[in-house]
Amino acid sequence: MSLSRSFQKSHKLLTQTAFLGALCLFFATLEYLFPKPVPFFRIGLANLPILLSLNILPFPYLMLLALLKVLGQGLINGTLASYVILFSFSGTFLSLFAMYSVRRIPGLSFIGISIIGAVFSNAAQVTLSILIVFGSNAGYIIPYFFTIGLISGTAMGIFANWFSVRSAWYQAMVHKQVFKIPDTPHLESNNTARNKSKDYIAAILHPQLRFFLGLLLLIPLFFQEVLLLKIIHVVTLGILCKLSGKRIYYVYFLNLLIWITVFQLLSPFGQVLLDLKIITITKGALFSGINKSLLLIGLVFTSLFSVSPGLKFPGRLGGVLAEMFYFYEELYSSKGRIKRKSFISDVDLLLGETLNSPLKAHKEKGIITFSPGLNNRKALLFSSFIILFYYTLLVLGQFVVNGQ
């Protein structure tokens, strides 16, 4: 009996950890809204769920959560095999150790804990930037690093304090209770709307093949330098998402396009297109902003296309990763339900419903095992066409760039 209870507790903690990892990935997409002094620098929004988890998860599961965050970001952003993963790994784990060490100091709120975590995370990034990238020249960006870290750490701490007090879902998690989801017409109508979208790709591609196909599509997305071809790439990825039954919030992506471009215009370079006195619009900054926003939108589209019910990886860690990606897709596809006037109650409903009502094919061991019958020939033809299309766009782009 004790073994059964221990297994159930372990399974519950693993599911909670996978869910919190999905929250990390969701917040990580917001990182691209802000300009970075260097490519690997992160503001740390993805650490917010880790901060809130200090009162929820035991330390071994916090370590697993940090690992899921690093691996998930690396897989979605295509940086798993690059030096960027070192910065993410070191910053995330050093921040976690620091926050966990001070979490029980009397009188220290989430604000203080968050600031300490941000300082240690930035310290790790600065150290690695000195050792790997910039050498002693990194000293010029240290003040900027720590200023941004203090600001973002303070902001995240304030939000964590506010959310932890007002969220019934969070209080239930902290006190190891089941969050009861109200049976409301609002909730039912949203579920009904979501279930109407049909996944046509599922009839062709196995979830594993679909995921690795998505990873292959990251290469031409990252290296495409011709703006028109990148637009074609992103638009067709959006079409694939629609065929996959995913909801696309066009206003959300339009906001991303506008704000990322505006941020880039603050650092003008290249030919001056328009001088408004307050801001100078240059060709280089404008194209850079549009390219970065398209990259972010393309990354989101690629992850939405790649993640589908039935996705699993080998081993126990693979099962938790599969759960995390499943939860991430559910959170993203439901974010339109959150309204400003009822923010806390809407967030509680979304988090509670997503965590407590996982896929029906979800098995006792926490591994999604849904595996539809598929036509291998159709899968091969479809995959080959998709790969050929996007890599042809990449080659065309290289010809255009080299021809200039």
pLDDT, tens digit, for every residue of 107-116? 889 999 999 9
Q: Give 51-63 pLDDT, tens digit per residue.
A: 999 999 999 999 9
Asked if the structure places residue 61 within a domain, the reply is yes
What phi-psi label fits residue 270: left (phi over 0), alpha (psi between -120 and 50 degrees) or beta?
left
Asked if the model's pLDDT at residue 1 lies above 80, the reply is no
pLDDT band at 84 (very low <50, low <70, confident <90, very high): low
Task: Kindly state the DSSP code that residue 54 receives in the 8-state scheme.
Answer: T
Single-letter amino acid code for the residue at 214: G
Burial of 339 (0-12, 13-18, 19+ CB in 10 A): exposed
Residues 130, 360: Cα–Cα separation, whole Å: 49
Asked if the structure places residue 65 within a domain, the reply is yes
Lowest mean pLDDT among 105-119, 203-217, 293-307: 293-307
| Nearest to 206, CA basis, from 398, 67, 39, 372 | 372
Contact between 112 and 120 under an 8 Å Cβ cutoff? The reply is no
Q: Give 186-213 pLDDT, tens digit per residue.
A: 444 444 344 446 788 888 888 888 888 8
Residues 210, 198: Cα–Cα separation, whole Å: 16
| Structural domain count, the chain | 1
**DSSP states of 131-172 as a string?**
IIISGGGGGGTHHHHHHHHHHHHHHHHHHHHHHHHH-HHHHH
| Nearest to 324, CA basis, from 284, 293, 366 | 366
Lowest mean pLDDT among 10-24, 79-93, 116-130, 187-201: 187-201
Asked if the structure places residue 155 within a domain, the reply is yes
For the chain, the average pLDDT equals: 77
Q: What is the pLDDT of residue 236?
A: 94
Residue where the block lists tokens 């029980």: 104
Residues 163, 27: Cα–Cα separation, whole Å: 15
- Other beta carbons within 10 angstroms of residue 173's beta carbon come to 24
* SS3 state of residue 282: strand
| Nearest to 400, CA basis, from 150, 280, 282, 226 | 226
> If you average pLDDT over residues 253-267, what whole number do you get?
75
Asked if the structure places residue 57 within a domain, the reply is yes
In this structure, what token pair is assigned to residue 29? Answer: 């997409």
What phi-psi label fits residue 248: left (phi over 0), alpha (psi between -120 and 50 degrees) or beta?
beta
Residues 258, 84: Cα–Cα separation, whole Å: 26
Burial profile 189-218: b = 16 or more Cβ within 10 angstroms, e = fewer: ebeeebeeeeeebbebbbbebbbebbeebb
Asked if the structure places residue 234 within a domain, the reply is no
Residues 126, 241: Cα–Cα separation, whole Å: 38
Asked if the structure places residue 277 within a domain, the reply is no
In this structure, what token pair is assigned to residue 31? Answer: 């990182």
pLDDT band at 266 (very low <50, low <70, confident <90, very high): confident
Asked if the structure places residue 390 within a domain, the reply is no
Contact between 172 and 217 under an 8 Å Cβ cutoff? The reply is no
Containing structural domain, residue 129: 1-196+312-367
In this structure, what token pair is assigned to residue 217? Answer: 């599509």
pLDDT band at 139 (very low <50, low <70, confident <90, very high): low
Burial of 284 (0-12, 13-18, 19+ CB in 10 A): middle
Asked if the structure places residue 282 within a domain, the reply is no
